[in-house]
Amino acid sequence: MAVIIGIDPGSRVLGFGVISEGTGKLHHIDHGVVDVSKQTLFSTRIKLIGQELGFILDRYNPEFLVLEKIFMGKNVDSAFKLGHARGVCLYEAARRAIPVYEYEARVVKKGITGNGAATKDQVRLLVLALLGITSDQALDATDALSMAVHHSRMKDARAQFVRLKIDPPADLGEAL
C-alpha cells in the first residue's frame, strides 16, 4: 500500500490529507490543518509549520508528498510568503527522502471533477464522497486530500511515460 500526503501550503494555515492506495482502492487515513495564524511573527509561523509537518511526516511515513503549485495572483507579498511555506514543505520532505510532486489547482480540479473551473466546494464534496468521509471539513484539508487523490490517479500514467523514456506531460505532475 502506497501512502500519499497532499499538502495545501499556507503561511497561516497549512492543510494536509493522507491517503493510502492498494488493491485499486483509495483509503482515507487522516487529514487536518496546521493553524499558526495566531502567531504574529512570520518566522515563528514558518518554524511551527516545519515542526508540525515534520511530526506528521514521521507519523505516516508517506511514499509521496504532493504540493499545490503556486498561483501568482495580484499580491506579490502573499506569493512570497507562500513560497516560504512551500520551501519548508520541500525541506521536510527532502530530510526524509520523500519524493515531491506538484500540480496546478486547475489540473487537480479537472482530474477530480472533470472541470478545471470547479469551485472549491464542488471539489470538497466529491473528495469527501470518494473517501467515504461523512462530516464537513475545512477547505484547506480537503484541498490537500484532493491533491493526494489526484496524484494517486496520475502516478501510474506518469510511470508509464517514464518507462517508455518519454517526457510526461506537465498535467501528470512535476517532480521537484
- What SS3 string covers 46-109? HHHHHHHHHHHHHHHCCCEEEEECCCCCCCHHHHHHHHHHHHHHHHHHHHCCCCEEEECHHHHH
At 159 the pLDDT is 80
At 73 the pLDDT is 65
Residue tagged active-site, from 8, 52, 92, 143: 8
**Domain at 147, CATH number:** 3.30.420.10
Residue tagged active-site, from 21, 52, 140, 143: 140
**Domain containing 136: what range?**
2-175
Amino acid at site 100: V
CA–CA separation, 41 and 19 (whole Å): 32
pLDDT tens string, the chain, 176 residues long: the values are: 899 999 999 999 999 999 999 887 999 999 999 999 999 999 999 999 999 999 999 999 999 999 988 776 667 888 889 999 999 999 999 999 999 999 999 999 999 999 999 998 999 999 999 999 988 788 999 999 999 999 998 887 878 888 888 888 877 777 78
Does the annotation mark 140 as catalytic? yes
CA torsion through residues 28, 160, 108, 98, sign: positive
At 162 the pLDDT is 83
User: In total, how many domains does the chain have?
Assistant: 1
Q: Which residues lie closer than 8 Å to 43 by C-beta, 6 or more apart?
A: none
Residue tagged active-site, from 21, 35, 68, 92: 68
Does the annotation mark 68 as catalytic? yes
Q: Which three cell numbers stand for residue 52?
A: 508540525
CA–CA separation, 169 and 46 (whole Å): 32
Q: Is the pTM of this model over 0.85?
A: yes
Q: b/e string for 40-57 if b means 16 or more Cβ within 10 A? A: eeeeebbebbbebbbebb
Q: At what angle do helices 105-113 and 120-131 cross, to 10 degrees?
A: 50
